[in-house]
A and B are shown apart, each in its own frame.
Chain A
Amino acid sequence: MSGGEISVLLVEDDSMVRGWVRLSLKGSEFRLVGEAASAGEAVDLARRRRPELLLVDYRLPDRVGTELVRDLRREGITAPAVLMTANAERGFNESVREAGAQGSVLKTGSVEDLLDTLRTVVGGERTFDYRHPTRSPGEGALSPREREVLRLVAEGATNRQIALDLSVGDETVKTVLARIFGKLGVRRRAEAVAAAYDRGLL
């Protein structure tokens, strides 16, 4: 593997989605070292290629993605894993955590969501898609980016000011804020700041 690239094993049974992920990762620091259409294929490929990151669909033909992650952990494959699913499902994030995976991302077609999730996980953090209704709102910790955005909100910055400060787009700020709201189980900026302080997240 060349310097700076992160090897990824993609496990996804839908060839159209595999094509989209492949193209989405082009030009990024992530490099696909294998594509599996089933959990069985994934175990074999993971053993042989030892990827640094696993991107796994939840609904596979022979097993659910969380079970695959458990199997891989038993095989001694400790690469961080991100679970993908098309539907927002209650308790999904808890299941992903319990399986020993480090992140989840809803398949919405957003390249930014996908890359942001992979980067967070590769950076050693955990991140779970806020759109999956949680069993216990506010349980998940905030990622560094989320903490950074919330800290600026606490200082009274507008979305535009936050976007300029962090050199990102306005939509990214909105997305991160929505994720924060979901994690904290709140609906307003002031509530988010208060909840984060209460829980020692800021």
Chain B
Amino acid sequence: VSKQDGRIPPDAADERLERLVNTLAHELRTPLTVIIGYAELLLARDDEETRRSAPRAIHEAALALLARLDELTSDGSASARTLD
């Protein structure tokens, strides 16, 4: 932080923004990866365990994704809109 005016120097601000974006991307990618991964297993396999567990896991991961998106908004409006 600059001693003169309290503002963050441009380079430091860029780094902080990059770190923030990376963290957000990681938070959103993880449940998305789970959804894709289970969907791929469902498409590729025909065993009972996959048929039984994958839809539940996809549902759980989709809800987790929605919850994380909600955390990014101040009033949870993303969830409210989706469930309308």
Contacts and interface: CB of A to CB of B under 8 A. Distances in A.
B68 to A, nearest CB: 12
Q: Give the most central of A16, A27, A110: most B CB within 10 Å.
A: A16
A89 interface: yes
A191 to B, nearest CB: 30
A159 to B, nearest CB: 21
Contact of B34 (A16, A87, A111): A16
B interface SS class: helix
Interface in A127-141: none
Interface stretch (A17-25, A47-55, A60-68): A17-25
Give the bracket for the number of chain B residues in contact with chain A.
Answer: 20 to 34
Nearest to B36: A109
Nearest to B25: A87
Contact of A19 (B22, B39, B57): B57
B33 to A, nearest CB: 5
A109 B61 CA distance: 12
Contacts of A110: 36-37, 40
A87 B26 contact: yes
Given A16-B31, A16-B60, A108-B33, A87 B41 contact: no
A59 interface: yes
A14 B30 contact: yes
A109 B37 contact: yes
A64 to B, nearest CB: 12
A188 interface: no
Given A109-B40, A110-B40, A111-B40, A20 B26 contact: no
B36 A108 contact: yes
B44 A20 contact: no
Interface stretch (B3-11, B48-56, B72-80): B48-56
A24 B34 contact: no
Contact of B41 (A59, A89, A108, A111): A111
B64 to A, nearest CB: 7
A58 to B, nearest CB: 9
Q: Give the most central of B37, B41, B53, B64: most A CB within 10 Å.
A: B37
29 contacts: A16-B30, A16-B57, A16-B60, A17-B34, A19-B34, A19-B53, A20-B34, A20-B37, A20-B38, A20-B57, A23-B41, A23-B53, A24-B41, A27-B47, A59-B26, A86-B29, A86-B33, A87-B22, A107-B29, A108-B36, A108-B37, A109-B32, A109-B33, A109-B36, A109-B37, A109-B39, A109-B40, A110-B37, A111-B37
